[in-house]
Structures are given as C-alpha cells and as structure tokens.
Amino acid sequence: MSTPSTGQSFAELLDRASVLVCAGPGGVGKTTTSAAIGLAAAQRGRRVVVVTIDPAKRLADAIGVTIAHEPSRVPGVTGGEFWAVMLDTEATFDDLVRQHSATPEQAGLILGNRFYRNLSGALSGTQEYMAAEKLYELHRDNRFDLVVVDTPPTRNALDFLDAPKRLVHFLDHRLYRVLIAPTRIGMRVASAAAQPFLKSLSRVVGGDAIAEAVSFFQAFDGMEAGFRSRADSVMSLLRSNDTGYVLITSPRREAVEEARYFAGRLADQQLGVSAVVANRVHPHFTDGLDTTAIADLAASHGNGPLRSLWENLALLEAAAGSERKALEPLLALLDGQPASRATVPLLEADVHDLDGLGRVVEHLLGLHPDGLLR
C-alpha cells in the first residue's frame, strides 16, 4: 500500500518518492501545481521529469518552454535537474512494439498494419496504458530519480491504474487466443472457432478490415509474453511504497467532491493519499479576528475610506472561512491518513515561467503562514 511515513512534510515526500501521481478535477491549477512539485524537488537536488497526459498542453504553458515526446531539460534550475515531457500515445505504442518484436521484420509488419494504426490512436484505454508505460519507461531511465505525472482533468484520470491489468486480461481472452492461432487457409479466417464471429463482424466493418485485424493479431503472436511481463512490472510500480498520490483541488464544492471521488478510487485500489493541495484559496489576513469583530471595527470608522477597507477585509475573511468549510469533507475523508497538506493562495497573475512556479513552491513547502492546510 502506498502511504507516506506518519507526519511527513511535503518536503519529506519530495525527498523520498520516486514517482508522484498528481490527480484532480479540471480548473484547479493541477498542471501548474504538478510543475511546481517537480520544480520544488529539483531545487532540493532531485533529477525530476514531469510527464503530462493532458492533451491541452498546459504543462508547456506553466513551465514556459516547448516540450515534446522526448524529455527536454528546463534551463535555469539550480540544485538538481528539471525535465518535462508530453505523452504521445502513438509514439509510445510504436516504441513498445519495436522493443518486444523478435525481429525488425515483425515490427515492420505491425507498424505498417492499418488496423494497428487505428488501434494505437483510437482504442479505448490505449492512452491510459501508454501513460502507465511511459511512467515505467521514465522511472527506469537513469537520468531521473523522480517522475511526476500530471494526469488529465477528468474522472477517468486514474484509469491508468487499471490499464496494465486490462491488457493482461485481453491477452488471456479466448478470442485473442483464437485470432493469433495459425491458419492453413490464408487470412480470411483464423480458425473454425473464430469464423462465425468474423463473418458477422465483416458485415459491419468490411472484409478488408477483418483481414487487416487478423494480420495484425498474427503478426503480434509471440510478443504477448513481453507485454504481459511489462504490464506486471508497471502494476508493481504503481503500488510501490516509493509511489505517492497527490490530490489537487480548489475550495469550490464541486472540485472538492471530485477530489473525494479520486480519494475513493485510490482507496478501492488499496492506495493511500500521500498529499493534498488546495489551490487558489483565499488566505486569512487576520490573526484571531472574526468577521463580526472586523465589521464592528468598520462601523467605528464612520463613512470614511478606512471603513471601506475594513469592510473589504471582512468580505475576504468571510470568503476564506467559507472555503475552509468547503474543504472540510475532503479533510474528514483523509482524517487519520498521514497525508501532507498544503494550500496555495490566489495569485496576482497566472503562472507562465519559473519565477511564477517558484512562488507556488514557497507555499507548497510551507514557507508562508497560509501554506499549511489545517
């Protein structure tokens, strides 16, 4: 079960983890926070790569550099190294085929197959499995000692936890075993067992498409052992004690509910939450003064300009208090878990460079009084 040590700080989590998976709803600054987590670890001496599965390319915007399928080092970071990479599902699938093919000819047959080209780009679950595969690839890369994963802003963001298992189930399926069976009568059918299925399917998608599919599965024959072994290794990594899961949310009620859903998904997998970050939170500007006391102070200034300032302060304090209440259901769900907690306040501008990320880092590490989520 992936859980941090009791009472660990965010800094301790950054120092010990080898993988951090960041999940959360859309619109909460998740990608920016993921990048800031990577920067914080790099500044502490780690060799970090942040990989985004988000097709909207928000990571490039947050870091302020161009990123692609191969890791790119971000300049201007002291202490350690900060790298970034964007998941390319098709390119990752192609690399995996080349790696597990017995010969270059086998790889060429698969990569040139029209059924494979459609499969690698459109099959449900392919992106999730390739995300898990990319994570494993980067984890094994000696250039890096920490991989930070920025997942898509959807409820399906954690589907890649199940993706390796689904691949193994597919390889064990009877129909798959039938389709890769050798045939004596060409590519029209794979065997008597598959003939009724293929005949029905050909009426829908056409005989040529079926022939391409059968050709693909037969070319794939012999590679399943490598894919199965790799899937097992990926599943082990996702459940390793060195892998942590960071929930990123905001004080909006719908965002908190989404974060609670993610926490439930992790619990279903017997995985713990390593850290929770509440982003875009109104900070408290007073120490011990409630909104009633602030309102009384405002009234004591008559109709002068100071009254307006005190009234604004009362509104801000009320917003901060309301946001803390909105976060309570999530904190209650995590009560008893040794998860690190941090808040990042509303910033005066969007983050588009390392300086902006540095301000987020300061709050993550608790270097400001409002940086700790109580």
Q: pLDDT tens for residues 30-84?
A: 989 999 999 999 999 999 999 987 666 777 777 877 888 899 999 999 999 999 9
Quick one: average pLDDT of 171-196? Answer: 52
- Give per-residue burial for 11-30: e unless 16+ CB within 10 Å, then b: bebbeebbbbbbbbbbebbb
Cβ neighbors of 239 (< 8 A, separation 6 or more) are: 1, 2, 269, 270, 271
Distances in whole angstroms, Cα of residue 283 to Cα of each of 26, 280, 349: 22, 9, 16
Quick one: three-class SS letters along the chain?
CCCCCCCCCHHHHHHHCCEEEEECCCCCCHHHHHHHHHHHHHHCCCEEEEEECCCCCHHHHHHCCCCCCCCEECCCCCCCEEEEEECCHHHHHHHHHHHHCCCHHHHHHHHCCHHHHHHHHHCCCHHHHHHHHHHHHHHHCCCCCEEEEECCCCCCHHHHHCHHHHHHHHHHCHHHHHHCCCCCCCCCCCCCCCHHHHHHHHHHHCHHHHHHHHHHHHHHCCCHHHHHHHHHHHHHHHCCCCEEEEEEECCCHHHHHHHHHHHHHHHHCCCCCCEEEEEEECCCCCCCCCHHHHHHHHHCCCCCHHHHHHHHHHHHHHHHHHHHHHHHHHHHHCCCCCCEEEEEECCCCCCCCHHHHHHHHHHHCCCCHHHCCC
Q: At 309, is the pLDDT very low, low, confident or very high (cuts 50, 70, 90)?
A: confident
Q: At 204, is the pLDDT very low, low, confident or very high (cuts 50, 70, 90)?
A: very low
Distance CA 230, CA 363 (A): 38
What does the block give as tokens for 105? Answer: 């000819």
Residue 2: per-residue pLDDT? 40
Quick one: average pLDDT of 172-192? Answer: 51
Mean pLDDT of all residues in the chain? 79
Residue ranges covered by each domain of the chain: 10-102+124-160+240-287+323-371, 162-233
Residue 18 has pLDDT above 70, yes or no: yes
Which comes out higher in pLDDT, residue 309 or 175?
309
User: For 5-9, 246-250, 284-288, which range has the lowest pLDDT when averaged over its residues?
Assistant: 5-9
Cβ neighbors of 122 (< 8 A, separation 6 or more) are: none
- Give per-residue burial for 52-64: e unless 16+ CB within 10 Å, then b: bbbeeebbbebbb
Quick one: average pLDDT of 283-302? Answer: 66
Residue 193 has pLDDT above 60, yes or no: no
Quick one: average pLDDT of 255-265? Answer: 90
Residue 218: per-residue pLDDT? 72
Query: May I ask the CATH class of domain 10-102+124-160+240-287+323-371?
Result: alpha beta
Quick one: average pLDDT of 296-310? Answer: 67
Cβ neighbors of 142 (< 8 A, separation 6 or more) are: none
Q: At 279, is the pLDDT very low, low, confident or very high (cuts 50, 70, 90)?
A: very high
Cβ neighbors of 144 (< 8 A, separation 6 or more) are: 47, 48, 49, 71, 83, 138
Residue 324: per-residue pLDDT? 86
Beta bridge partners of 276: 247, 341
Task: Read off the pTM.
Answer: 0.80
Q: At 173, is the pLDDT very low, low, confident or very high (cuts 50, 70, 90)?
A: low
Residue 142: per-residue pLDDT? 96
Distance CA 262, CA 327 (A): 15
Distance CA 351, CA 33 (A): 10
Whether residue 71 contacts residue 50, with contact meaning beta carbons closer than 8 Å, is answered with: no
